[in-house]
Structure 1
Amino acid sequence: MSLQITNAANIQTDKGTYLIYAPPGMGKTTAIKYLPGKTLVLDVDRTTRVLKGEKNIDIAYVDNTDTWKFWGELIVDLEENYKGKYDNIVVDNISELERSLLSDLGNKGKNKGVPSQGDYQYMQFRIVNSLRYMKNLGSNLVWTAWESSDLFTDSSGQQWNRSFPQINHKILNNVLGLCDVVAKLAINSDGERGFVLSSSNSTYAKNQIDDRKGCLQSELILGDVNDPT
């Protein structure tokens, strides 16, 4: 085997993998209209109505009943027919995609529609493998998620509420680790929506693209939003 070695100084890529999260109705789907260039949205939760009139956005509706088969075929179709054709590919959203996959598997099982332990494992592998696969499509990859929270206690007994994306706990670290940016959408005291890009005890976030600690809703991916190319 011969390793393909590239000096870090010669790395050339302007594409990244982003995960944005917030409670329902906060503005995750609306934020898609600010992505620069041409965007394909894979609509799982049927909230893309807010994008009506956006000429640089195409929408493909994910089958939310026969989801297991549809999603597998969709991933292959993206590779064969759409690689490099969009500046951004958005999955809206991963939280609902998990539930749709599980619901489909449960309905096809023998437990009266309730997913089995094996179904959860199937879903977990499909989600992570899909993310790995889609990172090679030559586009910015943006996954949205709903927000979840818990009460965390550290080894000293100190407690605080933590916010993080609503993703199955078995694969949460795996998914977030594969992303360059994890951003929590929030509203400041002036009513402006923006993304938290820096982690704290109460918020999971990260930014491996640049040194920004936060940004406006319209500035997640920097670029000319009026440039259709």
Structure 2
Amino acid sequence: DFILVGFRVRPELHILLFLLFLLVYGVVLLGNISMIGIIVTDSQLNTPMYFFLGNLSFIDLSYSTVIAPKAMVNFMSEKRTVSFVGCAAQFFFFALFIVTEGFVLAAMAYDRFIAICNPLLYSVHMSRRLCTQLVAGSYFCGWVSSILQVSVTFSVSFCASRVIDHFFCDSYQIEKISCSNLFVNKMVSLSLATCIILPTVVVIVVSYMYIVTTVLKIPSSEGRKKAFSTCSS
């Protein structure tokens, strides 16, 4: 088993941390479930933008659920342990949803790019099938990335200490208690960062550069305001 240290604070502050996490998690839970419910039940929101937004809400809800409940239990418990399998599972799902979120955000940026820069072709380009494929592809990339990260992170040998200096199973903290050579781990992390973070950031930045350029060319101030409001939200 691993021991999750959590926050290094006085024991009497653990109840405060518990209440803080409970409040934040409750807000996340209520906000995202409400968003998903509204999008699913309102037929007027059956558009690509809200399809992506609904998936983004589900992802946000999911990775919060992976972390927050276990952290809150540990705040109120003297035995703050997590099994090897439990730790690997938590890290896997956290990495899965974080990577998936990045790709979904890139898909949303592309959606807004088409809507603003090519509005006449929007319904042709952003079909329901393409939107579904983009979201499915995002989850697939998340699964592949998570499998690779979990495989290299939890295949190392651990030293005598099993103390993780965090409130959840983070790869960096896990590698700190490893006795193995971490060259392969670092190369995998670098490769994944190059293949995941760089492309998503480029798509988002380039899309919004084109969007801003196009919006600034709109003659009416009301039209510019509406376009900026839609994209920023």
TM superposition score category, shorter chain reference: under 0.3
Larger Rg over CA atoms:
2
User: Quick check: which one's strand share is greater?
Assistant: 1
In proportion to residue count, which structure has more helix? 2
TM-score, normalised to structure 1, is 0.27
TM-score for the superposition, normalised by structure 2 = 0.27
